[in-house]
Amino acid sequence: MINVNWWCQFTDHPGQPPDLLAKPPPRGVLSAFQIQRAAGLISNALTFKETIDSGTLPVDYIKRKDGSKTPMCMNQYRNLFGATRIPGDPTDGITTVHPAPGKHIIVMCRDQMYRVDVYTIKGDRVSVKEIMRQLFAVGHESFGDASEPPIGLLTAGDRDTCFKAHKELIQISPENEQNFETIKDALFVVCLDDFSTNQTIDHSHHQIFHGMDGHNRYFDKALEIVVANTGRAGLNGEHTPADAVIPGRFMDYILANEPAQDPPNASSTTLPPIRKLKWHVNNSISEYISYADKTAKKLIDNTASVLLHYDVYGGRYIKEVAKIAPDSYVQMAIQIAWQRMHTEPTAVYESASTRAFLHGRTETIRSLSKESWQLACNFDNDDVLYADKRLLFDSAVATHRAYQRDASNGKGIDRHFLGLRAMLQSSESSPLFSDPAFTLTSKWRLSTSNMSPGDWFYGGFGPVYEDGYGIAYAIGDVGIKFSISGNLKSKETKVKEFRSTLERTLTDLMILFPKRTEVWGMGWQQKHAQDRQEQIYLAMMKNLSDLYVEKENLIAQKYSSQRKKE
């Protein structure tokens, strides 16, 4: 599950103590700030859930060139909370209930699992401090109690082993079965790590990606908030219930509202005590856990992941100076970088959203085209004029944009092929799927995903093929964030070299377009900095206004109910 799940590392808390980052707590220690931030993230997550349950979450829209807006299907938001992957044979299952009825979460610390209630018995919200009290109780108990086996580690290994262990655990004891029900019904998982990694962003994201060794995680839960003992935090997610844009909006909300405020209707009631999940195991289960441990470590040791924060320019430059659609621009940069390192083209996967349709998910944008490869091959050719290179660039972008529109409008081909393949019985085969042309053009050595704008986080995922890369990117106004993953065993993939090549390519592309001063004028840097500051102030004012209106409405409701009683 480690390479299947996506991960996101959050920006630091606005009140992050710099000393905690400069001199992290030693391994084996939890910090008060870690508990404080975790409690705030939990509270904000519950508020976001309530907007989904009440139907008050504003609808997502696609903005068209003519100014019109197309609403998008919101169904996937119903799959965020409480969703769990269940090991199965021959295939896994996924459980989702909307609205998720659970009143508890699972908190993991030192591989121990605890049921932690976050709503009162009556279903009321509580203060952030009350959630902190629960988390402190988890930390205290996890250090002083006899350790239970690391059952969560089973979800880090291969699925067949996970299924066998899951089935046997249920057969061993009814308490084990009840534990799995408790996990399944939990709204989400919170992992309190008693360590932190190297604080450079290039290293610290590995803690969110896989926990360094697969421990203290339950990778089968749709949402898993991870908090290091420095207060650094992130999210690890199971991909089946929802596509990346959905948890992206969830993350935007919980981070934009830090530091968390108590919900207006917070109850003063004390929550029920935490409950540790205790497991009954035998030698067979211990062997399964040991095997999963080795499998996870082998995969982690073979996976390289690096980040690139390109800050020479961002989406504003691409739109206003280059006058290119930002996503197409970045896709061309990735393909040019690939060509600079490899002599032959490769199939390029990019996900397109089909949420303009009811229950739409994704379709494949086949980003590689005759035009894009022609651009990549000629970009470094000194015999080709810059004006002609710009024409090649425009042609490649036009082809990409056309395929992107077709994919989003239900005219793609890959989900159709997927449906045909799914219809085959186990004894059946089709020459189509073994045809060399089909297999070659479906081997995504470049698997890419746009997670824009990504202002609040870095995100990524593992490579699809052993000799390929997994590339996530987020295009902000003034910069572009990338995560690049690959396999260390492969002689073909070199993630650090690809990162430096991509960075150089993004800078080299500027030669095809006007200078920024020609479009924005002299002093554009100061003007843009001022614009950004004004945007920050406007956002702060809007948040304060929204909070004021929300509190006014609650006071009005309370007053109205009192009048009715009189």
Q: Which residues of 37-57 are buried (b: 16+ CB within 10 A; e: fewer)?
A: bbbbbbbbbbbbbeebeeeeb
Q: Poorest-confidence range of 69-73, 425-429, 498-502? A: 425-429
Q: Using the predicted structure, report yes or no on whether residue 145 has a pLDDT greater than 80.
A: no
Beta strands in 286-336, from DSSP E residues, in sequence order: 303-310
> Do 115 and 205 sit in the same domain of this protein?
yes
Cis amide bond preceding 99, omega within 30? yes
pLDDT at 156: 95
pLDDT at 549: 66
Q: Is 239 a catalytic residue?
A: yes
Q: Which residues of 67-93 are buried (b: 16+ CB within 10 A; e: fewer)?
A: eeeeebbeebbbbbbbbbbebeeeebe
Q: Which residues of 476-489 are buried (b: 16+ CB within 10 A; e: fewer)?
A: bbebbbbbbbbbee
* CA–CA distance, 219 with 239 (Å, rounded to integer): 10
- Domain of residue 453, CATH code: 3.30.559.10
Beta strands in 155-310, from DSSP E residues, in sequence order: 189-192, 223-227, 233-237, 275-276, 303-310
Q: Among residues 483, 447, 489, 440, which one has the least CA distance to residue 466? A: 489
Per-residue pLDDT tens digits for 331-355: 999 999 999 999 899 999 999 999 9
Identify the DSSP state of 221: B
In a domain, 187, yes or no: yes
Task: Give the Cβ contact number of residue 552 at 10 Å.
Answer: 10
In a domain, 320, yes or no: yes
Cis amide bond preceding 17, omega within 30? no
pLDDT at 147: 93
Q: Using the predicted structure, report yes or no on whether residue 562 has a pLDDT greater than 80.
A: no
> Do 274 and 329 sit in the same domain of this protein?
no
In a domain, 116, yes or no: yes
* CA–CA distance, 266 with 272 (Å, rounded to integer): 16
Share the mean pLDDT of the chain. 92
**Which of 519, 535, 552 is a domain's end point?**
519
In a domain, 427, yes or no: no
454: confidence class by pLDDT, cuts 50, 70, 90: confident
Per-residue pLDDT tens digits for 242-297: 998 899 999 999 999 999 999 998 999 999 999 999 999 999 999 999 999 999 99
Asked whether the beta carbons of 264 and 558 are under 8 A apart, the reply is: no
> Do 100 and 30 sit in the same domain of this protein?
yes
**Which of 301, 317, 341 is a domain's end point?**
301
**Which of 284, 301, 318 is a domain's end point?**
301
> Do 27 and 159 sit in the same domain of this protein?
yes
Strand 446-450, strand 348-353: pairing = parallel
pLDDT at 528: 78
526: confidence class by pLDDT, cuts 50, 70, 90: confident
> Do 349 and 479 sit in the same domain of this protein?
yes
Q: Using the predicted structure, report yes or no on whether residue 565 has a pLDDT greater than 60.
A: no
Per-residue pLDDT tens digits for 360-398: 999 999 999 999 999 999 999 999 999 999 999 999 999
53: confidence class by pLDDT, cuts 50, 70, 90: very high
Q: Among residues 158, 132, 111, 422, which one has the least CA distance to residue 279? A: 111
> Do 336 and 463 sit in the same domain of this protein?
yes
In a domain, 72, yes or no: yes
In a domain, 444, yes or no: yes
* CA–CA distance, 487 with 91 (Å, rounded to integer): 26
Provide the Cα torsion 537, 539, 541, 547; round to 10°: -150
In a domain, 421, yes or no: no
Per-residue pLDDT tens digits for 388-434: 999 999 999 999 999 999 999 999 999 999 999 999 988 899 999 99
pLDDT at 560: 63
Average pLDDT over residues 53-64: 92
Q: How many domains does the structure of the chain reveal?
A: 3
> Do 479 and 554 sit in the same domain of this protein?
no
> Do 37 and 160 sit in the same domain of this protein?
yes
The tokens for 300 are 């982690």
Give the domain range for residue 548: 523-565
From the list 203, 239, 309, 528, the catalytic residue is 239
144: confidence class by pLDDT, cuts 50, 70, 90: confident
Higher pLDDT, 534 or 231: 231
The tokens for 246 are 């959905």
Asked whether the beta carbons of 425 and 90 are under 8 A apart, the reply is: no
Average pLDDT over residues 24-34: 95
In a domain, 425, yes or no: no
Average pLDDT over residues 463-487: 96
* CA–CA distance, 385 with 344 (Å, rounded to integer): 23
Average pLDDT over residues 521-545: 74
pLDDT at 566: 58
Average pLDDT over residues 504-520: 91
> Do 289 and 340 sit in the same domain of this protein?
no
> Do 257 and 226 sit in the same domain of this protein?
yes
> Do 287 and 365 sit in the same domain of this protein?
no
* CA–CA distance, 500 with 508 (Å, rounded to integer): 12
> Do 279 and 393 sit in the same domain of this protein?
no
Give DSSP secondary structure letters for 399-449.
HHHHHHHHHHTT--SHHHHHHHHHHS-TT---HHHH-HHHHHHT--SEEEE
Coil vs helix vs strand at 500: helix
